[in-house]
Amino acid sequence: MAVADFLITLVTFIAIYSLFGIGLNLKFGFTGLIDFGHVAYFMVGAYVTVVLTLPADAPTYGGIGGFDLPGLFAALGPLGSLFGWVLGVLGGMIAAALVSLAVGVPTLRLREDYLAITALGIATILNTVVKDEDWLFNGPYGISGVHKPLVDVFPISLGSFTVNMAVFGLLSVAIFGYVAYWLVNRFRDAGRTGRILMVASVGLVSVWYFVMPVVDGGGTVELTKNVLWLFDPTAGPNGGLDYDRFVLLLSLGFLAGGYHWVERTINSPYGRVLRAIREDEDVPQALGKETFQYKMQALMFGSALAGAAGALWAVNIGFVSPDQFASTITFFAFTAVIIGGTANNKGVILGTAVFWAIRNGTRFIDVPSQYSIQLAAARLILIGVILMVILYYRPEGLLGEQDYDIDLPTSLRGGSDDV
Amino acid sequence: MNVLGIEGLDAGYGDLQILTDVDMTVGDGEYVTIVGPNGAGKSTAMKSVLGLTTYMGGSVQLNGEDVAGADTNTVVSKGVSYVPQTENLFSTMTVRENLLMGAYSLDEVPEERLRDVLDRFPILEERQMQRAGTMSGGQQQMLAMGSALMVDPDVLLLDEPSAGLAPDLVADMFDKIDEINDAGTAILMVEQNAKEALRRCDRGYVLVNGENAYEGPGTELLEDQEVRERFLGG
Amino acid sequence: MVDAGLLDATVQGLITGSIIAGGALGLSLIYNIAEVPNFAHGDMITIGAYLALVFNNPGEIPFLPAFGSAPLVAAAVVGVVLAGVLGATYELTIFRKFRKRDADIITMVIVSLGLALVLRNVVLFLVGSKNIRYQSASVSNTNFDFLVTGGGMTVTTTQRQAGEVVTTGQWGYPWWLLVGGLLVAAAVGYGVYRAYRREEGFDTVYLVPPKILGFTVAAATVIGLGAFVQLAPQGTDPIVATRIGLSIKHLTIIGVVLAAMFVLNVALKTTKLGRAMRATADNMDLAEVRGVDADRVQLLVWVIASMLAALAGVLTGWFATNLTPNMGFTLLLPIFAAVILGGISSPYGAVAGAMIIGVSMDVSVYLLPSHFATYRVAVAFLILIAVLMVKPEGLWGDV
């Protein structure tokens, strides 16, 4: 498998988990809610979307639905099934938000550590329900044959091999160019440690991506494949844009949408109240704000984002099962958010990327299969240690808290003692 | 030798400096007050003796021994005992246990001194087994002071002892403090109620903006025109 | 054949509760005094169990030469001591540093999560994921059948020996003895209660709450009478019958945990260091002002809590027969539920909370259709959530 394909899968995962993390960041980083049950909404979003878009007579599925929304709308035209899928995703997001509403009612008034534990407990209960109630969503067997939007359209080919290579190749290089431009801008703004980190990481990735394939024996063919990453020469008779790449673009699109939406919220007066609640709930309450409602809304919004991420996850993997949604997923998201920068959406993306790089990067280490458990364990030990180290030496994360358009009044930002 | 000597003290919290070049002494058996406007650093000066602030310079001496920047839990065995303004009790523990905790730094429980304290504050004897947090404000203040006296300190540090007390209890509180002082314990007291404090004390310091402003016998400060205008409401 | 019923489920629940209590005792210390909601506690339990395994059954662990095996009790003692050393390490290398920084409760939670990840995967790394068991003497289960008949109550004990069900004993209690015995026990219990109780009025504080002492003495009297005054069987035609299964294992677990609870409570209430620990939990700054070395107290807290967790781990491993790297983590939620339910600030509260959780878990599994057996842990949670909605500070607050 070309390195490009590996990278595409990796970046897709990073995009989906980043969306998950941005939802978590809204709850935790900006509003101060420790939701240890966040993965439950990932699960609800995935399952509900899948069930809403599954064909009515799906084989081996014994649960409620297949409501076949894409099929329903297919009659409206070629984009009808896509519309049906989007409706399914919306359904998943709304379901996730509603579940979080039910969770929030008993838990949001509790103090923060009790909130964390009860949220975790409820998520565990929900997972058990999905796993054990076969009649609901097929129980432990999960649901396979997840509807993939527009899958029949792909691979997209524009005619001949050369045309495909030219067009998609050009697009690939253009995107590389834009990324390079963005990196250079950030380099200019970064401090000394930032610059060193950037040079190191970009350098490593570049060597791994551009140089290694040539050295490893693939020659210029491999290099070309990597450079023209949007173009998959093996997709169909003439090569073209295959489905995996579409899913990547779809995920990135969702991530961009979610990111933009959260950024706008955070930088509005509404977002300012959320941040005030995080600092000291008594203050906005004294000013007459119904803090419970704000917290609930943040909870629902963040959960809806997790639900959207869940829908993408289902499309990416192709099947859903309860084991994919264990509580440790939430903890990994917390790790990513904290590493990258709590209350910093860019930080969430960076942290998720770092986290996944560690998790998947070590897969390249050649180790006899009898030690695979040890390798997996070592990876998690490393992540646990990094988490503690970052919390101590740089608790604000790699990027620190982001800047806002509207700042909190200075009296709320860090208290002052009586003298 | 002074029981407590503060010289050229710079102190604050974290990066924030509150006190600049503060001097203060408390002689053996003396009754000294610190008054001044809010935010002047009165409590900070007191807390610096206990090592509860960030030490930035100068000297703090107890019976001649330098304790500036020392660990808080080591200071109590050097002759000083402290009653904070708030949260000055172990509210989940009984009255008796609070008193025993007062004597924690001693090797053995001083039965005689426990007797003395209970005699001085009879209300505590009645309620020995009562949970401290369920007592009234005045009773809690008695317990806080009683606990501090268990080590028979050379100097007793009191941070706004009348704060939050009902007006009729305030006079009783100051009477008790007079009693303790008459028995030989030096007193260093921060007080918001400047009139009463200056009336009863031997000497007073007025701190303004973290620096020494005035010093002198209590009665003199009470009569001083400037002091009266600025801090005593004319 | 007599069926195991509600009573048996309750007894099972008490044992489950004891195991949870073992963890809850340690967690309540850390939660209350160190102010860390310790999400690594489950994995500390696991580590304790595996430490004992190293000395008891080293052959099962890769990387280790098989250097012979120690009896479980000895291995447990060594394991508990080593766990204490580890606890000191956690405090010195991790939690002390964060405490010096005045880290808030959220940070402490996530730090403990990081530690949990590390501990669990160290076990996984060193031992792998296969099921392992302790080498210990096997303990046989005795079934007690209680038959209420026209004449009174008949008790039959049976055991499985060499594949056969063998009746090992049979006796009974006529009605007059049953009623009389219960009355005597109630009287004794009440008498103890009155004698032990001091003047009411000012929220007095006891070593053992008088009501609980009275109740315990009454229960002990019942059991004592039942053990020593055994008369002829009263017929075998039951009006009502039930069975409970008990073994030395069960009684040991309950006994060890109750003993630990009692010792901990006495230490906290009567010793100078125990007072210092409670004072630190109440008001750390004031404790320092009064001369308590809070750092030393916290170190002690982590050592004791780790040792208690290790003890809970050994008991769990012994009871469940198998050790797995996840064994502690699966207990984490019920343990937190127990501590929050019982009020963070007291060993008695933690154990009481654990018993409530344990009994409700096993009784609900008994009462619900068998399909719902996997919701055992969920029941613990539902109870916790229900209690927190009514009383956010827990059932007891301060015992």
Do C22 and C129 reside in the same domain of the chain?
yes
Report chain B's mean pLDDT, rounded to a whole number: 90
For residue C144, being part of any structural domain is answered with no
Instruction: Choose among C275, C276, C288: nearest Cβ to B72.
Output: C288
Query: Touching check for C371 and chain A: CB below 8 Å?
Result: yes
C183, C213, C237 - which closes a domain: C237
Residue with tokens 């809070």: C294
Tell me what pLDDT residue C195 has: 81
**pLDDT score recorded for residue C382:** 86
Q: Which residues of C touch A120 (CB under 8 A)?
A: 333
* B129/C202 Cβ within 8 A: yes
| β partners of residue B24 | B6
**What is the tens place of the pLDDT at every residue in A113-163?**
888 888 988 898 899 899 888 888 888 888 888 888 877 777 777 777 777
pLDDT (0 to 100) of residue A366? 63
* Token pair listed for A388: 């503690």
Q: Are strands B211-217 and A319-320 parallel, antiparallel or unpaired?
A: unpaired
Interface confidence (ipTM) of the complex: 0.92
Range of the domain at C231: 150-237
Residue-wise pLDDT for B166-222, tens only, equals: 888 898 889 999 999 999 999 999 998 888 888 899 999 999 889 998 899 988 888
What pLDDT is attached to residue A416? Answer: 38
- Find the residue in A nearest to C40 (Cα): A384
Q: Which of B87, B92, B106 is the best residue to mutate to test the C interface, defined by the most C CB atoms within 10 Å of its own CB?
A: B92
> Which of the listed residues C211, C237, C263 is the one where a domain comes to its end?
C237
CB pairs under 8 A between A and B: 10
User: H-type helices in chain B, by residue range?
Assistant: 42-49, 72-75, 95-102, 111-120, 122-126, 137-149, 167-182, 194-200, 218-223, 225-231
Kindly tell me if the per-residue pLDDT of A242 is higher than 90: no
Are C45 and C96 members of one domain? yes
* Angle between helices A345-361 and A372-393 in degrees, nearest 10: 150
Q: Which of A118, A334, A383 sits opposite C388 (nearest CB)?
A: A118
Tell whether omega for the bond before A155 is within 30 degrees of 0, i.e. cis: yes
Neighbors of chain B with 3 or more C-beta pairs under 8 Å: A, C
| CB-CB under 8 Å, C279 with B101 | yes
Residue B114 burial (CB count, 10 A): 19
**Contact A101/A300 with Cβ under 8 angstroms?**
yes
For position C128, what pLDDT does the model report? Answer: 80
Residue A415 has pLDDT above 50, yes or no: no
Give the pair of three-digit tokens for residue A144.
Answer: 């396979």
CB A402 within 8 A of CB A345: yes
Q: Are residues C261 and C232 in the same domain?
A: no
Round to whole Å and give the CA distance between A138 and A144.
10
Q: Check residue A224 and give its pLDDT.
A: 76
Q: Which chains touch A (3 or more CB pairs under 8 A)?
A: B, C
Residue C1 lies in a domain: no
Contact C278 B147 (CB under 8 A): no
The conformation of residue A145, written as its DSSP 8-state character, comes to: S
| Min distance B230 CA to chain A CA atoms (Å) | 19
Type of residue numbered C204: T
CA–CA dist A300, A316 (Å, integer): 24
- Rounded CA separation B102/B143 (Å): 10
Question: What average pLDDT does range A14-36 have in this prediction?
Answer: 93
Torsion of CA A43, A46, A47, A51, to 10 degrees: 170
The structural domain count of chain C equals: 2
Tell me the shortest Cα–Cα distance from A419 to chain B, in angstroms.
Answer: 5
Among the three residues C209, C237, C265, which one is the final residue of a domain in this structure? C237
C375 and C337 both lie in a single domain: yes
* Chain C residues near residue B102 by CB distance under 8 angstroms: 290
Query: Across-strand partners of A225?
Result: none
Q: Please state, rounded to an integer, the average pLDDT across all residues of chain A.
A: 83
Q: Which residues of A touch B42 (CB under 8 A)?
A: 419
Assess whether C52 and C117 both reside in one domain. Answer: yes
For residues C288 and C182, state if they share a domain.
no
Return the pLDDT at A419.
40
Q: How far apart are CA A125 and CA C376, in angstroms?
A: 10
Q: What confidence tier does B97 reach under pLDDT thresholds 50, 70, 90? A: very high
Sheet holding B31-35, edge to edge: B80-83, B155-159, B186-190, B31-35, B203-208, B211-217
Please state the pTM of the whole predicted model.
0.88
Over residues B40-54, the mean pLDDT reads 91
* % of chain A with per-residue pLDDT over 90: 25
Rounded Cα gap, residues C301 and C307, in angstroms: 10
> Mind listing the pLDDT tens digit for each residue in A39-96?
999 999 999 999 888 887 777 777 777 777 777 777 777 777 788 888 889 999 999 9
Q: Which residues of C196-212 are buried (b: 16+ CB within 10 A; e: fewer)?
A: beeeeebeebeebebee
Same domain, residue pair C270 and C360? yes
Answer whether residue A238 shows pLDDT above 70. Answer: no
In angstroms, the separation between the Cα of residue A331 and the nearest Cα of chain C is: 8
Same domain, C161 and C297: no
pLDDT digits (tens, 9 = 90+) for A359-387: 877 666 666 777 778 888 888 899 899 99
The angle formed by the CA atoms of residues C35, C37 and C40, to the nearest 5 degrees, is: 125
In this structure, are C75 and C121 located in the same domain?
yes
Task: Classify residue C26: in a domain, yes or no.
Answer: yes
In CATH, what number is assigned to the domain containing residue C265? 1.10.3470
Q: Give residue C201's pLDDT.
A: 47
Mean pLDDT, to the nearest integer, of B38-48?
A: 89
Asked if residue C131 is part of any domain, the answer here is yes
DSSP E strands, A151-218: none
| pLDDT confidence of residue C33 | 93
Q: Which residues of A touch C97 (CB under 8 A)?
A: 392
3-state SS of chain C is CCCECHHHHHHHHHHHHHHHHHHHHHHHHHHHHHCCCCCCHHHHHHHHHHHHHHHHCHHHCCCCCCCCCCCHHHHHHHHHHHHHHHHHHHHHHHHHHHHHCCCCHHHHHHHHHHHHHHHHHHHHHHHCCCCECCCCCCCCEEEEEEEECCCEEEEEEEEEECCEEEEEEEEEEEHHHHHHHHHHHHHHHHHHHHHHCCCCCCCCCCCCCHHHHHHHHHHHHHHHHHHHCCECCCCCCCCEEEEEEEEHHHHHHHHHHHHHHHHHHHHHHHCHHHHHHHHHHHCHHHHHHCCCCHHHHHHHHHHHHHHHHHHHHHHHHHHHCCECCCHHHHHHHHHHHHHHHHCCCCHHHHHHHHHHHHHHHHHHHHHCCHHHHHHHHHHHHHHHHHHHHHCCCCCCCCC
Same domain, C270 and C127: yes
Handedness of CA A224, A229, A234, A236 (dihedral sign): negative
> Residues of C with CB below 8 A from A32's CB?
106
CA nearest to B209 within chain A: A419
Residue A387, chain C, CB below 8 Å: the answer is yes
Quickly tell me which residue has 């916790």 as its tokens.
Answer: C384
Give average pLDDT by consecutive 10-residue segment, chain C, 399 residues: 80 92 94 93 94 83 72 89 96 94 89 93 86 79 82 81 81 83 88 75 60 83 82 77 85 92 89 92 93 94 96 91 85 90 80 92 87 83 83 61
Same-domain pairing of C197 and C305: no
Predicted confidence band at A244 (pLDDT cuts at 50, 70, 90)? confident
Interface of A with C in 199-218 (CB under 8 A): none
Query: Which structural domains are found in chain B, ordered by start?
Result: 1-79+186-234 (3.40.50.300)
| Judgement on whether residues C259 and C122 belong to the same structural domain of the protein | yes
Pull the structure tokens for residue C186: 């109630």
DSSP string, A71-131: HHHHTT-TTHHHHHHHHHHHHHHHHHHHHHHHHHHHHTTS-HHHHHHHHHHHHHHHHHHHH
Please indicate whether, in this complex, the C-beta atoms of B104 and C290 are within 8 angstroms of each other: yes
Q: Which chains does C contact via 3+ CB–CB distances below 8 A?
A: A, B
Instruction: Give dist(CA A396, CA A391) in Å, integer.
Output: 8
Q: How far apart are CA A274 and CA A264, in angstroms?
A: 13
C223 within a domain of the structure (yes/no): yes
* pLDDT greater than 90 at residue A308: yes
